[in-house]
A and B are shown apart, each in its own frame.
Chain A
Amino acid sequence: MKGGSPVNVETLSFEQLDETLVVHTHSSGMKTYVLPKKGYYKKFAAFGTNYGAVDSEFVPWGSNQSIKVPDGVAHFLEHKLFEQKDGNVMDKFAALGASPNAYTSFHQTVYWFTCTENFQKSFELLLDYVQNPYITEESVEREKGIIGQEINMYLDDPNWNVYFNLLNNLFVQHPAKKNIIGTQASINGITKDILYQCFQTFYHPSNMVMIVGGDVDPDEVFRAVEQRIQITEKAVRPKTIFPEEPDMLNKTDHRIQMEISIPLFYMGYKELPLKLGDLKKGLSPDELFKREVAMKLILEMVFGKSSTIYRELYEKGLIDGTFGYDYTLWKDYGYSMIGGESKDPNAVMQRVLEEVERLNVGGLSEQAFLSTKKMFRGKFLRGFNTVEKPCRAFMSDYFKERNVFLTDEIVRGLNFDFVGKVFSEHFDPKKLALSQVMPLKGA
């Protein structure tokens, strides 16, 4: 080994999983995680920043005056980082035999690549390009055309529409409902300066994390991080300014028409977790973790394929294989989503309300609880079949101050009473909204 091993390295073992995580902490506070997967061909690396669509109002770096940026900036910036002065970064990755990509979500922007050879060089490239933006007026204008087409692609997607309409119903002002890619009008207002401002504010290593998976040498990875992260001091992330979000819903129902064969719907319950907890001051990261896992278990118990309501709705022809559910929870907002295709979404919603009421009175089934715990155990372990999946899952929840590798422990530690309590807190009929996409009349 060249030189000595980098310091500030810790190894976390997950014996039940038969996996380990090796963690390095940089002087800026940035952590790098390596998931060694011996015998795998693919290597994966993802570099993420705690900055996404919700961060639309904040005090930028070097200023004391808050600003509001147009919808779609975080996503636009993600596209722009690929362009360097000496050409497109995608070409450089391609020359190394690697496949790069990136995504923007509500809370993070993540740049990643996979490869089966030349990992070290591709990794160095990833570290370099994400730290060095090169944005010109001309490239900004051209990107407006490309993203314009991306926007149009989503506008024609009924699933995208039904989801964002639900968010708009649930939230009055909270940026949880912000359109990640923006609209043609909002992105037309994006300038080079705004992009640089956002970059300087949020793309600070203190605000970022790196995860690597595959048959790699952690020491080599950490050495590259030590050598190539340009900013070495810690900084405090500027707070994103969130408007005061009222308890009530924005709308209870919204429907649009599109050229589809059968109605598509999502119903969802709103949560404001800041009002939860013993002191009504919100929940700690660990408490949020526990609550999120409990809710996912509850959704499976109440709406999964073994449930009473699933069987009933399926046999009545009211739901089909598209029926699904999910739960999202961050520090100051949360929501469940239950939906799919149905010839009569209102009938489904009625039935759901009745079922929730019935369970509130009679209680959840402990048998179903134990069985679902087993199922979650298997699902969790199965997720570690590949290099990518655990790394992506890790990245998605990292900025919740969470290590998703601990999910199995959380599942096992959940007790039935706690789950019952979460159930009764969440399914408040006053917090329920419905979003529908209907086929065009006469179609």
Chain B
Amino acid sequence: MFEGRNLWMVEEKIQKCFAGDGITIYHLPFQRFKTNSITLCFIQPLKTETAAKMALLPAVLRQGSFRYPTATQLSDALKELYGAVLECDTSKKGEKQIVHFYVETVKDALLGEEGIFEKGLALLIEVLKNPRIEEGIFSETIVLREKALLKKQIQAKINDKGSYILERCIEEMCQAEDYSISDMGTLEDVDQITAQNLYEFYTEFLTKTPIEVYVTGDVEAAFLEKLKQQIFALGGERRKLDTTLSFGQAPLQTKYIEEKMNITQGKLCMGYRTNVHPCAKEYTALLLYNSILGGGLHSKLFQNVREKEGLAYYAYSRLDRFKGLMFISTGIEMSNKQKVIDIVRKQLQEMKEGNITEHELTLSKQSIINGLYSMKDHQLSVLDYTFSNNLMGKQQTLDQLAQEVQQVDKNAVVRIAEQIKEDTIAFLTGIEGGQSGER
């Protein structure tokens, strides 16, 4: 199985340079890439009271700082650093909301320059620590403008029908859980934000939030030391990162929701509770289960819904390992809804009954392992993998996971199948007599 993979390559070990006082700094010492990067992840619980502020804050900070008071000036500064990338954004993982600040520059040596990466770091800290202030708080004009844009983004959720119905499925399924909270907040939440209360939130955020820092590329120890000092100079007393996860239970009867829009293709989303904790022994078997069921061209969903029956162009399953959930998504002819649901249920039943061939098992293992090794070629993928693990208190390298995947046997997968519970079905269908995309 590991034949042909370059075993002579020394595994690039991720180094934990520092840990303490709510700050952890990691170095991913990759040699072969053209760029270096720094990511600062601020981690808070996903809560209705803070979601919208966590989304608006990075957007406001990105609009300018003390030294570069407009977005135009920031853009000019980045262009001068040979098109350096600067990102400030929010996202969620499970029931955590993250605000990340990211800078990436092409390596000095490749540019034939000196100090570009250092200047990139300075810019990142500048944007984070020295915001543009008017009368002691954020600029009202900028906050108002970014509020309007955030509301537009929330309203735009209906534009991608597949994502929209997945989100509706989650909202329905996890009504009583924080997981259903959007990392953009609601329109009403955004309306409540003012330049004043956002600035107050910012000062708390900057000094109390646990931070994970990731540096990628070949950097000197002196640089890492400088970075560490800059992060500590942010001051404050930070909370410790809480890595507990919470899981919910499937209802006795599957929930069903339907929404209507002016569309041509129906979108089906089926949500399941797997009841598997990512740190548990069975977790690796769950990865196999998901792959066999709907993880690619080799999967039961692809083969049965698309290839055999020609009912869909795509049909796949995805896990959210932070919450132990699984979602099956497919785009189909509206009239085929029940037919497809039946086929999907049949595949799950097949797996429960142990109708998994050695071939399916092998293909799935290869597919997962191929994916894991491919991730190693992308600094940010390795970073994201490590970060996700840290958020759940898990220690496992990509290589270790690949080895575990290789060891999983069919019985372990069948045991997983037995504990998967159908929770909610969401269907986006058309309005009768309605038409879409008319030319």
Contacts and interface: CB of A to CB of B under 8 A. Distances in A.
Contact of A156 (B155, B264, B367, B377): B264
A261 B296 contact: no
B33 A99 contact: no
Contact of A378 (B82, B155, B366): B82
A341 B31 contact: no
A149 B75 contact: no
Contacts of B379: 385
**Which of A161, A372, A374, A382 has the most C-beta atoms of chain B within 10 angstroms of its own C-beta?**
A382
B395 interface: no
Contacts of B333: 149, 152
B51 to A, nearest CB: 19
A149 B311 contact: yes
A97 B367 contact: yes
B9 A39 contact: yes
Contact of B80 (A41, A254, A374): A374
Interface in A375-422: 375-379, 381-382, 384-387
A382 B437 contact: no
A115 interface: yes
A375 B79 contact: yes
B265 A377 contact: no
Contact of B265 (A143, A152, A259): A152
Given A117-B2, A152-B331, A258 B106 contact: no
B9 A119 contact: no
A440 interface: yes
A269 to B, nearest CB: 22
Interface in A150-186: 150, 152-153, 155-156, 158, 161, 165, 168
Mostly, the B contact residues are mixed
B157 to A, nearest CB: 8
Contact of A18 (B110, B149, B261, B332): B110
Nearest to B72: A311
A132 interface: no
B312 A378 contact: no
B377 A387 contact: yes
Listed from nearest, the 7 A-B pairs whose CB atoms lie closest are A378-B82, A378-B83, A145-B310, A97-B366, A375-B83, A152-B265, A116-B373
Given A118-B3, A320-B149, A379-B83, 10 more contacts: A18-B110, A42-B374, A117-B2, A142-B310, A149-B332, A156-B265, A258-B436, A374-B82, A382-B35, A386-B378
Interface of B: 1-6, 9, 31-35, 70-72, 75-76, 78-85, 104-106, 110-111, 145, 148-149, 152, 155-159, 161, 261-265, 296-298, 306-307, 310-314, 331-333, 359, 362-363, 366-367, 369-370, 373-374, 376-379, 436-439
22 contacts: A88-B307, A99-B370, A117-B1, A145-B310, A147-B313, A149-B332, A149-B333, A155-B436, A155-B437, A156-B437, A256-B437, A260-B156, A261-B156, A261-B158, A320-B152, A371-B80, A374-B80, A375-B78, A378-B81, A378-B82, A381-B34, A385-B33
